[in-house]
Each structure stands twice: as structure tokens, then as C-alpha cells.
């Protein structure tokens, strides 16, 4: 079940849509940056307004860098053919869709697969990216018999 064809088709569709959405976000950031430059150059404003324009510009540039890194990761997925790897992990930390500070669970939330801290899982994740996207997960049942 870990490497089923229907699941593979679903996550390829999902990450293709996510890549297109990321391109739109990058375009929006570039438009804001251009708008800030035009507003800064083309107007005589009070120092407070210029300061606000500069802050908006800097925050947008930082956000653009973050989006560009995500976009590069998504483009790399397609180039590498959605290669997967398998691993057994114990969930120690879950923070903002990131598990153990390495794996992303955004796709698992889409397919309604829940994970719990402290449990052991066999995961299937996409390789060759900066962000390791988990695409399937199975809980490993530990034997309580001795």
C-alpha cells in the first residue's frame, strides 16, 4: 500500500498544483517589490511613509526568498521523477506541519492521515528535495507480548 499507483498519481497532482500556486505567490511578491520601488522613487513622502515602504520592501524580499526556495524544491521534484525513499521513524516533535524538524506532512493532511507524537511509523517520503514531503505513512505496531 505504501507505493500504490493511485496514491502516486494523487501526490503528483497535488505537488503539480502546489508548484503552480507557488509561481503565483512569487509573481505577487515581485509585483509588490516593483510597487515599493516605484513608490519610493516616484514620490516625495514624509520620512515615516518612506520607512514603511522600506519595511514592506524588506519583508517582501525575505518572503520572496522563502517562496523561491519552496518553488525550487517543487521544481526539483518533477525533474527527479518523484523519487521516494522509505524509513522507520519515531515522532518526537511536530511543529507547524514539520515532523522531527525534517519531514513535511502537508500532503498527509490532505489525505487525512493523522500522526501522533511518540509513535513509530514506516514512512514513504519524496527524495531529492530540501523539504522531505511524506506521501504515505503506516504505524508500526509494537508487540506487547514477552
Tell me the residue length of the chain: 146
Q: Total structural domains in the chain? A: 2
Q: Are 74 and 110 part of one and the same domain?
A: no
Q: Are 13 and 74 part of one and the same domain?
A: yes
Instruction: Supply 82's cell numbers.
Output: 518523484
Q: What digits encode the pLDDT tens for the residues 32-81?
A: 999 888 888 776 666 667 788 889 999 999 999 999 998 998 898 888 88
Q: Are 60 and 43 part of one and the same domain?
A: yes
The whole-angstrom separation of Cα 48 and Cα 56 is 12
The whole-angstrom separation of Cα 139 and Cα 90 is 10
* pTM over 0.85, yes/no: no
Question: Final residue of a domain: which of 79, 105, 128?
Answer: 79
Domain that holds residue 102: 84-139
Amino acid at each position: 500500500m505504501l507505493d500504490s499507483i493511485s496514491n502516486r498519481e494523487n501526490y503528483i497532482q497535488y505537488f503539480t498544483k502546489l508548484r503552480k500556486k507557488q509561481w503565483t505567490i512569487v509573481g505577487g511578491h515581485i509585483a509588490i517589490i516593483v510597487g515599493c520601488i516605484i513608490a519610493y522613487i516616484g514620490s516625495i513622502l514624509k520620512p515615516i511613509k518612506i520607512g514603511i515602504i522600506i519595511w514592506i520592501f524588506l519583508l517582501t524580499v525575505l518572503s520572496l526568498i522563502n517562496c523561491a526556495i519552496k518553488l525550487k524544491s517543487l521544481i526539483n521534484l518533477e525533474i527527479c521523477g518523484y523519487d521516494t525513499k522509505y524509513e522507520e521513524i519515531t515522532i518526537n516533535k511536530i511543529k507547524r506541519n514539520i515532523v522531527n524538524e525534517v519531514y513535511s506532512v502537508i500532503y498527509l493532511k490532505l489525505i487525512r492521515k493523522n500522526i501522533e507524537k511518540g509513535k513509530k511509523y514506516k514512512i514513504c517520503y519524496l527524495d531529492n528535495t530540501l523539504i522531505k514531503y511524506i506521501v504515505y505513512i503506516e504505524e508500526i505496531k509494537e508487540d506487547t507480548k514477552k
